[in-house]
Amino acid sequence: MYVIKGSALRISVRNLVEFLCRGGDIDAGSGLGTDVTAMQEGARIHRLIQHRMGAKYHAEVPLKYKCDYDEYSISIEGRADGIICDMDEDEDGNKTPVSDVIIDEIKTMQTDVTKMKEAVYVHKAQAMCYAYIYATQHNLEKITVQMTYCNSETEEIKRFAEDFSYDEINKWYENLMKQFKKWTDFIFEQRQLRQESIGNLEFPFEYREGQRELVVSVYKTINRGKTLYIQAPTGVGKTIATIFPAVAAMGQNKADKIFYLTSKTITRTVAENTYVLLRENGLHFRTVTLTARDKICMAEKRECNPANCEYAKGHFDRVNDAIFDAISNNEVIDRTCIEKYALKHRVCPFEMSLDISYWCDGIICDYNYVFDPNVALKRYFGEKVKGDYIFLVDEAHNLVDRAREMYSASIVKEDFLEIKKLLKTTDAGYIDKRLVSWLDKCNKSLLEMKRECDDYRVFGDISSFKRLPEYLEYLSMGISSFLDKNKKFEKKDELLEFFFKIKHFLAMYDCADEKYVIYCEHDDEGNFVLRLYCVDPSGNISDRISMGCSTIFFSATLLPVNYYKEMLSGEIDDYAVYAHSPFKAEKKCIVASKDVSSRYTRRNDNEYEKICRYIYETVNAKKGNYMVFFPSYGYMENVKNMFMENYSCRPAETAFTAGEDICGKKDYINIYIATQRNGMNEEDREQFLKLFEEEKFDGSLIGMCVTGGIFSEGIDLKNDSLIGAVIVGTGLPMICRERNILRDYFDANEKDGYSYAYVYPGMNKVLQAAGRVIRTDEDRGVIELLDDRFLRPEYQKMYPREWENVISVRRENVRKQLDIFWKN
């Protein structure tokens, strides 16, 4: 919204009035056309109106005004759509008005403008700011403000004009700036406190081995405005080692805001706690944690319109008071805080949290808010303006696949026919025949593709689409107009969902380049799908990080690092640091099996029996809690059933009598099984992890989980909560069409396609699962790799440095190796 350099704040006229002069309700069904297409259409109409106005109409006039206060200055700037008057021009090209002046502000609308009774106040306020600046700079005694509204579809025009004396416009503007000064006083006062506190801030711990070098690397990278990749094993303290130097860089005016980006709730909590720790050491720093709209919504059913949500109704009339109340009384603005003030002021908690971010030093949020084209914070990235932002990207290995999905898009032919049915009335007619016409044209274009597609077909380039994108554009504008006119349409939700799919497809179509594979296919349900598949997301990601001043990608698993450089920023020359593990190598035992394989051709009872034997010998070598990670739920069930049949054990949730020997063999310990289920909610996950945190078992607990699932990363079971991880298979993603498309794409680009599509993502999951075992200096544990491929050179070269001594074993001697480790 604003930019601060030293003691100068700069803000656009539009941002100023939209912040101070907005009012009314939140309505998700209004303003659907406010995207690139609508902006282009609006620009076309602006030019059309401007060209019709004759020689007196001076278009796109830049205006700027500076207000100096005791401790800072505010620059207001913008571009008036039109200034209507006769002008004289001197030798230097300076123009001076010589007749009455009209400031014209043009707004394109999707509603019927002929029915408007008056100008929208926030629009009028924008024109009044331009009028004040122009009148002040040219010593005008009076000036006219004119609002020109034009319907984007019919091109009908409605105008509202109002005359102001200079005293009137001056009084109005002074009152506006008085309102804004409350906010700017707050922000400059808080910045001064922040900068002073950073100057006295010290690292809150004694540096671990290699941690000081990591902190220095992050600071130097930010200082140079570059990008850094950090491969940092568990225990290095990645969060504090990235946040602390980022905060220090802010103290040297190298940046003005830190985005801490995560993919999981638990890492968000770690970031929050890190800022709390720094505050306890004297840091004055305000942070906000953004929570997804669906999770933080306080209504029984999320319907973002004033008819169904009391928090949406009148939201903009009350939200600024709610924001100032929250930021004035809190430095830690988390979900609980947001909900408290949203309830107090009866406003939408999600929208309020986004506005609060303007007035915070740090933003903790999901990747989506920066990278997803549909969810990204338009407040920061909508106008493609570079900001003084530091991006700290935690668990960065997750961003590759997340970004592929964000920047890919699909449309389904059958959806167009379903939407057509929605528009049918009871008398066999249609509510909107023009809308149906565009649906038919889109369907016909897709039908032509379908006839030429046996199974699936890859298009050489986007020109194969013929006129489909054009039809989709008209269809989206038609839906937007229809919904604006029919706010009580019964099937609104279904039509909105379809609308957003179309808009996303068009947005991705506009940015589809050589890093996309465009194909159509018949899916498993018999539908015909057209897909824009972003196989290499680096171009889109680099576009976004270029809007900040520095980016730090970090994770415990960024191997091989050049692969992640290629997939994230696309720059092999970006800086990279490998942080050494602070934990002693002898605290862990890593074994890899010679005699087990999880290959699809070897998935049979014989292999399952071998795996059962490995698990049994492992959990009997030392009593404790273990996790076993499997390639899939089906594989896990097969092994679990055989294990429970062959070895005496029981479900972990079952009550037991302490000391009971259920194995029937005195030399062996009792075994309890807990199983990850598909689709577990937060409560289910907490109950599962609680089994590991409580010392309630008189034997060994086995948690059977899926590699790459919710328990294979992001959980922190310290000390005796987990003493071993058995990883079955190399973590390869399931063979499917999209993975094979990735393989073929990278092969064609002279890369190792199979490794890019399967091996690297798979090994990353393995390393994440293995990282659950050693979490602190006191931890000791076993990592067991059950697949003979782990002993092949192409896998060994991806071992992290701390895996310096991997022992090859067979099921006959694995117990011996484990006994040696535990006895030592």
Q: What is the largest CA-CA distance in the chain?
A: 106
How would you class 111 by CB atoms within 10 Å of its CB: exposed for 0-12, middle for 13-18, buried for 19 or more? middle
Q: Give residue 41's pLDDT.
A: 65
CATH number, domain containing residue 495: 1.10.275.40
- Name the band, by pLDDT with cuts 50, 70 and 90, for residue 428: low
> Is residue 766 in some structural domain?
yes
For the four alpha carbons of 280, 259, 298 and 684, in that order, the dihedral sign comes to negative
Neighbours of 644 (CB within 10 A): 15
Average pLDDT over residues 285-314: 92
**Alpha helical stretches, state H, 623-706:** 633-646, 682-693
398-435 b/e (C-beta count within 10 Å ≥ 16 → b): bbbebbbebbbbbbbbebbeebeebbeeeeeeeebeeb
- How does pLDDT run across 569-613, given as a tens digit for each residue? 999 999 999 998 888 889 999 999 999 999 989 999 999 999 999
- Give the angle subtended at the CA of 687 by the CAs of 681 and 690, to the nearest 5°: 140
Q: Indicate whether 449 and 371 sit together in one domain.
A: no
- Considering the chain, what is the average pLDDT of its residues? 92
For residues 106 and 120, give the distance between their C-alpha atoms in angstroms, rounded to a whole number: 12
Q: Give residue 489's pLDDT.
A: 86
781-786 vs 588-593, strand pairing mode:
parallel
> Is residue 661 in some structural domain?
yes
Give the percent of the chain with pLDDT over 90: 77
- For the cut 50, the answer to whether the pLDDT of residue 656 exceeds it is no
> Is residue 202 in some structural domain?
no
Average pLDDT over residues 791-801: 95
Q: If you search the block for the tokens 């070098």, which residue do you land on?
A: 213
Q: Give residue 37's pLDDT.
A: 52
Q: Which amino acid appears at position 426 of this protein?
A: T
- How does pLDDT run across 674-719, given as a tens digit for each residue? 999 999 998 999 999 999 976 667 889 999 999 999 999 988 898 8
For residues 412 and 804, give the distance between their C-alpha atoms in angstroms, rounded to a whole number: 50
For residues 120 and 338, give the distance between their C-alpha atoms in angstroms, rounded to a whole number: 30
For residues 124 and 138, give the distance between their C-alpha atoms in angstroms, rounded to a whole number: 21
> Is residue 198 in some structural domain?
no
What is the residue range of 463's domain?
Answer: 409-534
Q: Give residue 527's pLDDT.
A: 96
Q: Indicate whether 24 and 145 sit together in one domain.
A: yes
Q: Give residue 668's pLDDT.
A: 55
DSSP 748-801: HTTS-HHIIIIIHHHHHHHHHHHTTS--STT--EEEEEESGGGGSHHHHTTS-T
CATH number, domain containing residue 564: 3.40.50.300
- Name the band, by pLDDT with cuts 50, 70 and 90, for residue 430: confident
8 Å CB contact between 699 and 665:
no
Task: Tell me, rounded to whole angstroms, the distance of Cα 619 from its chain centroid.
Answer: 40
- For the cut 90, the answer to whether the pLDDT of residue 630 exceeds it is yes
- For the cut 70, the answer to whether the pLDDT of residue 416 exceeds it is yes
Q: Indicate whether 156 and 94 sit together in one domain.
A: yes
- Name the band, by pLDDT with cuts 50, 70 and 90, for residue 663: very low
- For the cut 60, the answer to whether the pLDDT of residue 116 exceeds it is yes
> Is residue 197 in some structural domain?
no
Q: Give residue 238's pLDDT.
A: 93
- Give the angle subtended at the CA of 334 by the CAs of 333 and 339, to the nearest 5°: 95
Q: Indicate whether 718 and 636 sit together in one domain.
A: yes
Q: Indicate whether 396 and 427 sit together in one domain.
A: no
- Name the band, by pLDDT with cuts 50, 70 and 90, for residue 44: confident
* Tokens representing residue 71 in the block: 């401790």
Q: Indicate whether 386 and 414 sit together in one domain.
A: no
- How does pLDDT run across 450-471, given as a tens digit for each residue? 999 999 999 977 777 779 999 9
Q: Give residue 43's pLDDT.
A: 77
Q: Indicate whether 79 and 124 sit together in one domain.
A: yes
As for how many domains the chain has, the answer is 4
Q: Give residue 658's pLDDT.
A: 38
Q: Indicate whether 489 and 569 sit together in one domain.
A: no
Distance, first Cα to last Cα, the chain = 61
Nearest to 371 by CA among 553, 556, 574: 553
Cα–Cα separations (whole angstroms), residue 618 to 341, 642, 693, 707, 786: 52, 16, 20, 19, 12
- How does pLDDT run across 96-107, given as a tens digit for each residue? 898 999 999 999
Q: Indicate whether 501 and 609 sit together in one domain.
A: no
> Is residue 208 in some structural domain?
no
Q: Indicate whether 220 and 262 sit together in one domain.
A: yes
How would you class 604 by CB atoms within 10 Å of its CB: exposed for 0-12, middle for 13-18, buried for 19 or more? exposed
> Is residue 201 in some structural domain?
no
Half-sphere exposure of 179 (CA within 13 A, CB side): 12
- For the cut 90, the answer to whether the pLDDT of residue 78 exceeds it is yes
- How does pLDDT run across 532-560, given as a tens digit for each residue? 999 999 999 999 999 999 999 999 999 99
Average pLDDT over residues 432-455: 93
Q: Indicate whether 115 and 223 sit together in one domain.
A: no
- Residue 65: helix, strand or coil by DSSP? strand
Beta-bridge mates of residue 122: none
How would you class 690 by CB atoms within 10 Å of its CB: exposed for 0-12, middle for 13-18, buried for 19 or more? exposed
Give the percent of the chain with pLDDT over 70: 96
> Is residue 267 in some structural domain?
yes
Q: Give residue 103's pLDDT.
A: 97
8 Å CB contact between 76 and 11:
yes
282-307 b/e (C-beta count within 10 Å ≥ 16 → b): ebbbbbbbbbebeebbbeeeebbbbe
- How does pLDDT run across 138-147, given as a tens digit for each residue? 999 999 999 9
528-534 vs 516-522, strand pairing mode:
antiparallel
- For the cut 50, the answer to whether the pLDDT of residue 665 exceeds it is no
- Name the band, by pLDDT with cuts 50, 70 and 90, for residue 662: very low
Q: Give residue 660's pLDDT.
A: 42
Nearest to 810 by CA among 773, 784, 783, 771: 784
Say which range, 58-72, 89-103, 460-474, has the weakest mean pLDDT: 460-474
For residues 688 and 422, give the distance between their C-alpha atoms in angstroms, rounded to a whole number: 44
- For the cut 70, the answer to whether the pLDDT of residue 316 exceeds it is yes
8 Å CB contact between 185 and 67:
no
Give the total residue count for the chain. Answer: 824
Highest mean pLDDT among 504-513, 564-573, 646-655: 564-573
Average pLDDT over residues 387-410: 96
For residues 162 and 172, give the distance between their C-alpha atoms in angstroms, rounded to a whole number: 14
Q: Indicate whether 508 and 636 sit together in one domain.
A: no
Q: Give residue 381's pLDDT.
A: 87
